[in-house]
């Protein structure tokens, strides 16, 4: 039986929302850094993510018998090498019949996530550690020098420290130990696949959720957080969500079908309805507010039935792709609905699908060859050639 690793991340109702206990007591430096983030208006979800990144680092140093305040650059390098090869615990929880890591799902054409930590995860881990040690150095709580290499511009300043928002970002060389990350691509669900997925759903609640995701483009956590305090306006066909990044309350449109499924869910399944209470509830056992992980389980059951590997965020991509394919929508319209800060992010969804390009290429080569431009019979060919300086 494997021995449990020391430390854990614990949530608290008052004070600092998330804290790192390592090995058994609260880690003072980690709590100090997380308090700094909390005072900078970071969301609880961000604090939780950073806490787990710090815990992973502390556990690695514990196996190396190295105190965190004595970590050196070589320790960071060893940590990155370990992340590149170590199995990600989240990937271990696969179905026995799931395709092997690194393969391509035959239904969706999407790659199956590798068993190790992704490049973006490693880069995020390094960013968290860089910020942690920067704070520790500035408060004399740790080493005098940050062991995590920083990414800097040509003059030695922090990257994008004085960026002009009216200009495009300049691509700089990756910092030491930062991983190459794939270019962002959209992952929209084709209409036929979306209909097949919708057909596997078991309840009006699940149909309402998927319908809202596909029509509004709301993020999964934003939709799950809907409340009975004006968040749903069926008359105006809008919902009001708390945006994930800015945490601003913003109103977005949704389809009529979404509100029909929502009405069927509320009328037939009769979940608890209280002023200010959550809209979505679990259906098994004692009703509890639906969480993000429970909503993801709904999609996982559908994936198991279809043999697919769609994700909740693919619904957002699908909504964006459908809007952009409609001539009535402009790129800025879609940016407003998706609430992107930069239109550059929205442009990712304007990329054509591979199957569309295949069709266009086949059509291109099947089309009869057209000769080059010729001089019309109404013109004097010699005069035109002399004018253009051809054949002189």
pLDDT tens, position by position, 234-267: 999 999 999 987 888 999 999 999 999 999 999 9
Percent of the residues in the chain that have a pLDDT greater than 90, as a whole number:
61
Burial of 68 (0-12, 13-18, 19+ CB in 10 A): buried
pLDDT digits (tens, 9 = 90+) for 5-34: 899 999 998 899 999 999 999 999 999 999
Reported as a pLDDT band with limits 50, 70 and 90, residue 156 is: very low
Residue 220 pLDDT > 90, yes or no? yes
User: Mean of the pLDDT values across residues 189-216?
Assistant: 95
Active-site choice (63, 313, 360, 379): 313
- Which residue in 210, 215, 57 sits closest to 130, CA to CA? 57
CATH 1.10.443.10 placement within the chain: 191-350
- Residue 380's CB: how many other CB atoms inside 10 A? 10
Burial of 108 (0-12, 13-18, 19+ CB in 10 A): buried
pLDDT at 159: 54
Residue 126 pLDDT > 90, yes or no? yes
Average model confidence (pLDDT) across the chain: 88
pLDDT at 1: 44
pLDDT at 279: 96
Report the predicted TM-score, pTM, of the whole model to 2 decimal places: 0.78
pLDDT digits (tens, 9 = 90+) for 77-119: 999 999 999 988 876 666 666 677 778 888 888 888 888 899 9
Give whole-number Cα distances, 259 to 89, 190, 212, 275, 378, in Å. Answer: 38, 23, 8, 19, 64
Could you tell me which residue, 90 or 268, shows the higher pLDDT? Answer: 268
Reported as a pLDDT band with limits 50, 70 and 90, residue 218 is: very high
Active-site choice (316, 317, 322, 339): 316
pLDDT at 213: 96
Active-site residue flag, 316: yes
Active-site choice (27, 205, 219, 317): 219
Find the helix or strand (DSSP H, E) in which 239 lies.
strand 238-242
Active-site choice (33, 177, 265, 349): 349
Contact between 207 and 250 under an 8 Å Cβ cutoff? The reply is: no
Residue 137 pLDDT > 60, yes or no? yes
Residue 61 pLDDT > 60, yes or no? yes
Residue 55 pLDDT > 80, yes or no? yes
Active-site residue flag, 219: yes
User: Mean of the pLDDT values across residues 369-376?
Assistant: 73
How far is it, in rounded angstroms, from Cα 331 to Cα 337?
10
Active-site choice (244, 283, 301, 353): 244
Active-site residue flag, 313: yes
Kind of pairing, strands 232-233 and 238-242?
antiparallel
Instruction: Tell me which CATH code domain 191-350 carries.
Output: 1.10.443.10
DSSP β-bridge partners for residue 9? 20
């Amino acid at each position: 039986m494997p021995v449990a690793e020391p430390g854990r991340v614990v949530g608290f109702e008052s004070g600092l929302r998330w804290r790192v206990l390592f090995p058994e007591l609260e880690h003072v430096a980690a709590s100090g850094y997380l308090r700094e983030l909390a005072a900078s208006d970071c969301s609880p979800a961000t604090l939780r993510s950073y806490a787990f990144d710090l815990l992973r680092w502390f556990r690695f140093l514990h196996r190396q018998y190295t105190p965190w305040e004595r970590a050196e650059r070589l320790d960071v390098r060893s940590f990155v090498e370990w992340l590149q090869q170590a199995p990600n615990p989240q990937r271990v929880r696969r179905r026995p019949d799931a395709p092997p890591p690194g393969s391509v799902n035959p239904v969706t054409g999407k790659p199956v996530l590798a068993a190790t930590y992704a490049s973006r995860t490693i880069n995020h881990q390094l960013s968290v550690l860089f910020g942690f040690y920067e704070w520790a150095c500035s408060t004399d709580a740790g080493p005098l020098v940050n062991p995590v290499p920083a990414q800097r511009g040509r003059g030695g300043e922090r990257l994008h420290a004085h960026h002009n928002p009216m200009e495009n970002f300049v691509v700089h060389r990756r910092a030491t130990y930062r991983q190459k990350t794939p270019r962002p691509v959209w992952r929209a669900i084709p209409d036929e696949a979306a209909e097949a997925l919708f057909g596997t759903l078991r309840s009006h609640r699940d149909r309402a959720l998927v319908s809202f995701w596909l029509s509004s483009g709301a993020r999964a956590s934003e939709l799950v957080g809907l409340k009975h305090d004006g968040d749903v306006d069926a008359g105006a066909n809008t919902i009001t969500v708390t945006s994930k990044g800015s945490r601003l309350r913003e109103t977005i449109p949704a389809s009529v079908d979404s509100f029909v499924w929502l009405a069927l869910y509320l009328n037939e399944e009769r979940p608890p309805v209280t002023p200010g209470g959550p809209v979505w509830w679990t259906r098994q056992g004692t009703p509890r507010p639906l969480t993000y992980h429970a909503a993801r389980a709904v999609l996982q059951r559908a994936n198991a039935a279809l043999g697919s590997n769609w994700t909740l965020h693919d619904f957002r991509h699908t909504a964006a792709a459908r809007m952009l394919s409609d001539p009535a929508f402009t790129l800025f319209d879609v940016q407003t609905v998706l609430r992107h800060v930069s239109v550059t992010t929205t442009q990712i969804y304007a990329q054509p699908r591979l199957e569309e390009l295949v069709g266009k290429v086949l059509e291109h080569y099947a089309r009869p060859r057209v000769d080059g431009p010729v001089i019309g019979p109404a013109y004097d060919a010699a005069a035109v050639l002399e004018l253009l300086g051809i054949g002189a």
